[in-house]
Amino acid sequence: MSAVDGQLGFSKQLAAHGTPIPGVVLFDLPVYGDNRGWFKENWQREKMATLGLPDFGPVQNNISFNATAGTTRGIHAEPWDKFISVATGRVFGAWVDLREGPSFGAVFTAELDPSTAIFVPRGVGNAFQTLEDGTAYTYLVNDHWSAAAQGEYTFLNLADETAAIAWPIPLDRAELSEKDRAHPRLADVTPMQPKKILVLGADGQLGKALRAEYDGAAHLEFAARGEFDLADPASYADRNWKDYSAVVNAAAYTAVDAAETPQGRRTAWAVNVAAVAQLARIAVEHRLTLVHVSSDYVFDGAEALHTEDEPFSPLGVYGQTKAAGDAVASVAPRHYIVRTSWVIGEGTNFVATMADLARRGIEPSVVEDQIGRPTFTADLAAGIRHLLEGNAPYGTYNLTGAGPEASWADIAADVFAAAGTDPARVHRVSTAEYFAGRAAAPRPLRSTLDLAKITATGFHPTPWTDRLHDRPLAEEEGDAAG
């Protein structure tokens, strides 16, 4: 065995190790050598992604050469992710979480040589001290460096007493820049804010529920139609997409019957498909998570229970555009397609309408052969947040209210009863009877969505019956609808 063998430990297997800082992952790298020297796979996307390294999309490779032992650099938190390793020599590395959140100030240290590497996410402060002369320190980053980007850095003093980093070579004997000596202590550091989440369709029922769910969180940005027109190319071009981590598409054309008309058909395809394709392209180019809200209308209702992997079988134009939108949204590697049904939220909706009719003594005719589960927007918003924050695998998830399936007539009767009105005043009719003599789009008769996949991630929607009975139906709903 050569001296190089002993220093680097050629017996190492590729392995990942968690650290006290969320998202910071230390890697053991296999190094292969003989009497001529050594070789390693410094970054291997497929193998490392399998071990949990984010597919962070590096675009630039930097190398810092340090002539003498004791050279010390940092602590700098940059607005991008980086994968750090050593080409030759050894360093003592120190990382401090400078992101806003409960782990702010958490510290991790380790010695790096060519057989180790570390992934450091955006906002985690990075510093190192060379332990050998002629050390080359290399890092991959997923954004292009620019002088302007330095204005987005967050800094911490190397000698901060709270971090209490045990530098192998005391800082008074180390080689530091004057800039690094002047960085603030932790108490004076402004934490790096998370990237923003952009919510489109902010004034719709789901948009309003997302406002309530996030309750003024600074990293949420809400854009209504006047602020982001899905049909206007300028809306996409005028954004600095590097500032965002995710886009929630809560906007859609939902006029089911109007979609069957010539103008409605064009608008439905523009909003539900062409705009989604634009968002998917942006998500791919900027490594964003795309949350896209889908519909039970992508199915024909032939199955009693719809799973996420059921093939599309839409009956009408609206369903066809939603199915096409799902297909293009799935092109984004980081996507959540949230399929829902019978949405009820703030503003005009079926429950509010029925409560108003009950209050006014009107006896409505309501279809009894369409079966499904309503979705209150509070659950839909909470489920979207769960997917974004809970590291659920990307893909399609059904999300409706839990509880028993019911017909529209059953729900109407429940509303009448909750409003103190005889539920028998709801007249039950078939879909064919209800739409007789009127132009109407075809509707799926069975809309119950299987919730097993999303509940397996740890999210449990509230039974829709509980949501219904929590609402002040007797007066407030009626007044709002009236």
Strand, helix or coil at 360? Answer: coil
What is the secondary structure of 284-316 as a DSSP string? HHHT-EEEEEEEGGGS-S-SSSB-TTSPP---S
Among this protein's residues, is 139 annotated catalytic?
yes
Tokens of 191: 């934490």
391: left (phi over 0), alpha (psi -120 to 50) or beta: left
Contacts of 255 (CB under 8 A, 6+ apart): 264, 268, 318
- CB-CB neighbours of 285 under 10 Å: 11
Cα Rg for the chain, rounded, in angstroms? 28
Residue 304 exposed, middle or buried by CB count within 10 Å (0-12, 13-18, 19+)? exposed
List the strands of the sheet with 15-18, edge to edge.
15-18, 25-28, 116-120, 82-88, 135-141, 60-66
Are 344 and 376 spatial neighbours (Cβ–Cβ below 8 Å)? yes
Query: Percent helix, strand and coil across the chain, each rounded to 5?
Result: 30, 25, 45
Are 199 and 221 spatial neighbours (Cβ–Cβ below 8 Å)? yes
Residue 241 exposed, middle or buried by CB count within 10 Å (0-12, 13-18, 19+)? middle
User: Which residue has tokens 């079926």?
Assistant: 350
Query: Active-site residue among 17, 32, 76, 236?
Result: 76
Residue 280 exposed, middle or buried by CB count within 10 Å (0-12, 13-18, 19+)? buried
Query: Active-site residue among 137, 139, 244, 253?
Result: 139
From CA 10, how far away is CA 24, in angstroms rounded?
24
Among this protein's residues, is 76 annotated catalytic?
yes
Q: Which residues are catalytic?
A: 76, 139
